[in-house]
């Protein structure tokens, strides 16, 4: 396989992580909304967990973007 083609293939596969991060963020907020609708009095106590899940899912997406950009422009 041509090294340039392998580089583009690896960058494309790394971009799948960004899509997975978007799905993760949507899942975090969706599940929080379902829980808040079922028990509104407990929603405030779960808000730190919401932000932690959001931050971890976004960090995964940013790391995937970083790997894709490194593969494209550095190697």
> Which domains occur in the chain, in start order?
3-73 (1.20.20.10)
Question: How far is Cα 2 from Cα 19, in angstroms, rounded to an integer?
Answer: 27
Judge contact between 28 and 54, C-beta under 8 A: yes
User: What tens digit of pLDDT does each residue of 2-55 get?
Assistant: 888 988 998 888 888 888 888 988 998 999 999 999 998 888 888 888 888 888
Question: How far is Cα 75 from Cα 72, in angstroms, rounded to an integer?
Answer: 7
Q: What is the percent of the chain where pLDDT is above 70?
A: 100
Residues composing the chain: 75
């Amino acid at each position: 396989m041509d090294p340039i083609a392998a580089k583009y293939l690896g960058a494309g596969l790394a971009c799948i992580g960004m899509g997975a991060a978007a799905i993760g963020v949507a899942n975090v907020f969706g599940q929080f909304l379902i829980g808040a609708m079922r028990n509104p009095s407990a929603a405030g106590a779960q808000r730190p967990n919401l932000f932690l899940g959001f931050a971890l899912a976004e960090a995964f997406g940013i790391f995937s973007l970083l790997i894709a950009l490194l593969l494209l422009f550095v190697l």
